[in-house]
A and B are shown apart, each in its own frame.
Chain A
Amino acid sequence: MIRIENLSFTYNKTPSPALEGISLQVSKGDFILITGESGCGKTTLMRAVNGLIPHFYGGLLTGNIQVLGENPFELSPRKLSQHVGTVFQNPENQLFMSSVDSEIAFGMENLGFPKDKMDSRIQEVAEDLGFTNLLSRKITTLSGGEKQKVALASILVMGPEILLMDEPTSELDPYAAKELMELLVSLNQKHQKTIIITEHRLERVIDYIDRIVLMKKGKIIADSSPTEVIYKFPEARSFSPPIVHFFQNFPSQIRQTFTPLTLHDAISAMTEILKIHTPRKDFKFNPYTPPNPDSNPLLELSDIWFKYSTSSDWILREVSLNIYPGEFIAIMGRNGSGKTTLLKHMNGLLRPVKGKILLNGENANSKSVAEMARKVGYIFQNPSIQFYQDNLHDEFDFVLRNYGYKDERTRESAIRNCLKTFDLTRYSSRYGRFLSIGEQQRAALATVLLLKPTLLVLDEPTHGLDIGQKTDFMRFLNNYCSNGNSVILVTHDIETVAKYAHRVIILSEGGIVDDGLPHKILPNYEPFIPQINRLVKNFKEIPDFVLTAENLLEVFRNETQ
């Protein structure tokens, strides 16, 4: 289906190649994951396959590529589109019409399909993807997951044999991500579609793929079955899902016997392990000790109700919540459950229709956002949107000037220190949006922490970060928290929550449905159960509150040493 030989590509005005000596063969019916650190060339490789390179993105290109016998260098993407379908990361930017059926028909109209064929193809694909009920809906009324399904359907109706999907689950909550992956598997198995996806979060896709292409700095460093890549290539270790991490680090030689990737295989492997090893009976989990409810909260939300206009529905209902110094809190819930709306109340970007917010015991409703921002730092979901000054230095300077730091020397000294702390000094004169996503997130955090707020509020901070960037970022937040500050984040990243959060709040339809310690909350909510907990739930010998690979290794450590 696809044959790539020694392909190299350097974008215009960039010093180093984005792809270097890539050779790859893809056969009919393959379900391939391309993964690697941010900026390793995953998206560029996709662009070479669908012809966006060189027709849309110019640069220096060498090597050969054949897609279904055609050369994408010679055929434009629009000519290739009937063979190679591409679904992009953000569904919002690939939907052009206002109703679902018109949207799905758009590509077929461009290809000149007759009306009756369009009708039957739309019906067929909608049935395959299980959303015939959405056909008459307006695009604006769809959820993120539904929009991604429509984007997929609008590509599938054009009949491509190859489907490229660039981080298709990145905008989706765990429910929607699982649903989408199951759809892709059925397309792959039922219709023999060749599917290539890129994704950072291996735990979301590992159960479904049959081959991994691992990239690093524009090169393919591994290309084999998932088991082979994950267990044999040290570079893949950092991408390993928690189950793999556990078996890779199991403290006995038995680890060489088992190489499970999926939950199903892990259950079989664990059954064997338990025949030889006994988990520690005295294992005690040391969860974070919740603060005394009588102590003074940093932020107090009492009976908060919010809606955008008098005629709209309530977005937040009866939310009451205290945040204490030193707490690391994760807010979870489905898309549209009111998580971001709740966060925006914490720094005054939104004001409650009913209810009271106290910051350090003072009424926050009377404070401006700027006043609140001195105490409550807010990091937005998309870090790039936070930069608009000419360079990073000026971004910091802008914040300090907003807060009345008139003395240039004081400002310069604060900026220098902050750049150094966040390892950003070398990017001081760089435009913020030109940094990698991990560096952007770090820079966004640095600009907020310039003012030394005591509460940090983050909306999906790990979105788009690769595993290494995520670990660095979360370690920083952890340190910040251990100094008596508080962190509250909204995320769909279950494993991050299991690893770092002290407290989890589950939000549904604008109300808090649960609030407590992660090991008590997460195992009870199906979409939020961490991978390791899904495994241990099958074994009564292992405490059912274990959430992470590190916890589980601890359960076996003394016994096996």
Chain B
Amino acid sequence: MTYSSSPNKIARTNALVKFFILISYFIFSFLFNHPLYLIILFLNLIILSIIAKKFKESMRSLRYYFIMVFILIILYTLLNRQGNNIIVYYEKVPVLGSFIITWNALILSFITSFQLLIVIYSFILFNLLIDTDQLMQTLIKLRLPYIIVLLITLSLRFFPLLKGDLEIISDVQKARGFELEKGRFFQKIRRKMVLLLPLLTNSLERSIQVSEALETRAFNREKKRTFYSRIRFRFTDYLNVFIIFGLLAALVGLKIAGFGIFQILPELTIPTIQFYDIMFVMGILIVGISQILLLQMGGNQR
């Protein structure tokens, strides 16, 4: 999953604002555990992906999430012994001693998975909506030293090449009769470890060529470099940043006041939906949509 150029304006608008929006959703996901609040936060991200014409692509990337969540729910439910609302309990189980599954652990695993969904989805959108050049400009705007910024962007730029190298090395070994997929899980992992050495050698060779090329492109020659692309802020971008921080402050306030939370431990309660909850989530939805619209009206990268 990587950024691809898109005719949609959001892909080209202010990367720093997009960065702040997606980071804010990352934070929001940890503030609440009430399903209604989480649904609305996720809905905002979905609307963003639809307007940015990245919905299908983002959904494709989510398929790995479901595998992870499946494992997470099973492990979390089986291993988390907290809570008083018991589903199954065996007092004497060989090796384990006792075995307990609680409603609390089960619900908690679902809520955590939902929070994780928002985190992962904002990360997916980050990848789809911010290309490495834009990320570079964003990090520069955040005043990170240029050498570190270049290092990060080069790692992202060369990651697909590294993946390609790994595929070739794996093909080479298969073609020489080495059965990478043979054996049990740990045997497979051990067999695959042999790919690391040639990959490392290759990467070292590539890094030498990259450094040569950087030298001949006058990298780090002048103390002060100029920038071809700059993040250009319009009024709408400033407004959007103001809204992001405003929303963040408001949601932290709600959290402190106890809204958007329902009790799972030690006693499980049924999440209630009050009138003020509906008002708040409607507010989050409206603010989220306005952020997206403002993003569309924001400044381009150049």
Q: What is the interface of chain A, defined by CB distance below 8 A to chain B?
A: 50, 52, 55-56, 76-79, 81-82, 84-86, 88, 90, 92-99, 101-102, 105-115, 118, 136-138, 140-141, 154-155, 158, 311, 344, 347, 349, 368-370, 373-374, 377-378, 380, 382, 385-388, 398-399, 402-403, 433, 447-448, 451
Contacts and interface: CB of A to CB of B under 8 A. Distances in A.
A138 B4 contact: yes
Contacts of B174: 349, 369-370, 373
Interface string B208-227: 01111111111111101111
Chain B CB within 10 Å, residue with most, of A76, A106, A369, A380: A369
Contact of B175 (A94, A112, A347): A347
Contact of B216 (A86, A112, A140): A86
B74 to A, nearest CB: 28
A468 to B, nearest CB: 25
B212 to A, nearest CB: 6
B169 interface: yes
A109 B133 CA distance: 14
Nearest to B207: A93
B217 A110 contact: yes
Contacts of A388: 169, 194, 197-198, 201
Interface of B: 2-5, 60, 131-133, 136, 150, 153-154, 157, 160-161, 165, 168-169, 171-172, 174-179, 194, 197-198, 201-202, 206, 209-222, 224-230
A97 B175 contact: no
A370 B177 contact: yes
Question: Which label, helix, strand, loop or mixed, suits the secondary structure of the B interface?
Answer: helix
A96 B153 contact: yes
B240 to A, nearest CB: 24
Given A97-B132, A113-B226, A447 B220 contact: no
A55, A98, A99, most chain B CB atoms within 10 A:
A98
Contacts of B168: 380, 382, 385
Contact of B226 (A92, A109, A136): A109
Contacts of B154: 96
B133 A81 contact: no
Contacts of A101: 228
A92 B176 contact: no
B213 A112 contact: no
Nearest to A78: B221
16 contacts: A79-B221, A81-B221, A93-B206, A97-B157, A99-B131, A110-B220, A347-B175, A373-B175, A378-B175, A385-B165, A385-B168, A385-B169, A385-B172, A386-B172, A402-B177, A447-B176
A52 B215 CA distance: 8
B109 to A, nearest CB: 31
Contact of B60 (A93, A137, A311, A447): A311
Nearest to B164: A92
A199 B202 CA distance: 24
Contacts of B225: 109-110, 112
A94 B210 contact: yes
A349 to B, nearest CB: 5
Contact of B215 (A78, A99, A347): A78
A96 B218 CA distance: 13
Contact of A399 (B176, B194, B202, B209): B176
Contacts of B224: 112
Given A81-B216, A109-B226, 13 more contacts: A50-B216, A81-B217, A86-B216, A94-B213, A95-B157, A97-B133, A102-B133, A110-B218, A111-B221, A115-B228, A370-B178, A373-B174, A402-B176
Residue in B133, B154, B210, B220 with the greatest tally of chain A CB atoms within 10 Å: B133
A93 B212 CA distance: 9
Given A107-B217, A109-B226, A349-B174, A52 B133 contact: no
A377 B60 CA distance: 36
Contact of B213 (A88, A113, A114, A141): A88
Contact of A56 (B133, B211, B227): B211
B228 A102 contact: yes
Contacts of A387: 198
A138 B227 contact: no
B218 A137 contact: no
B179 A110 contact: no
A112 B209 contact: no
B229 A102 contact: yes
Contact of B131 (A98, A105, A108, A398): A98
A403 to B, nearest CB: 5
Contact of B133 (A93, A98, A155): A98
B221 A110 contact: yes
Contacts of A97: 132-133, 136, 153, 157
Contacts of A311: 60
A380 B221 contact: no
Q: Which 3 A-B pairs have the closest CB atoms?
A: A105-B228, A402-B177, A94-B213
B227 A369 contact: no
Contacts of B197: 388
A344 B171 CA distance: 9
Contacts of A107: 217-218
Given A56-B211, A77-B215, A380-B172, A399 B177 contact: yes
B6 to A, nearest CB: 10
Contact of A93 (B169, B171, B213, B219): B213
Contacts of B150: 96
Contact of A77 (B136, B161, B216): B216
A158 B225 CA distance: 14
Contact of B228 (A109, A380, A402): A109
B177 A403 contact: yes
B3 A98 contact: yes
B163 to A, nearest CB: 12
A78 B221 CA distance: 6
A495 to B, nearest CB: 27
A319 to B, nearest CB: 20
Nearest to A112: B222
Most buried by A among B5, B171, B177, B222: B177
Nearest to A141: B5
A451 B177 CA distance: 10
B179 A370 contact: yes
Given A369-B174, A378-B175, A380-B168, A118 B153 contact: no
Contacts of A377: 175
Contacts of A111: 218, 221-222
B176 to A, nearest CB: 5
Given A111-B222, A347-B175, A370-B178, A93 B3 contact: no
Nearest to B3: A98
Contacts of A448: 175-176
A79 B217 CA distance: 9
A56 B177 CA distance: 39
B135 to A, nearest CB: 9
B221 A109 contact: no
Nearest to B211: A56
Contact of B220 (A78, A108, A115, A141): A78
Given A98-B3, A402-B177, A92 B215 contact: no
A217 B104 CA distance: 77
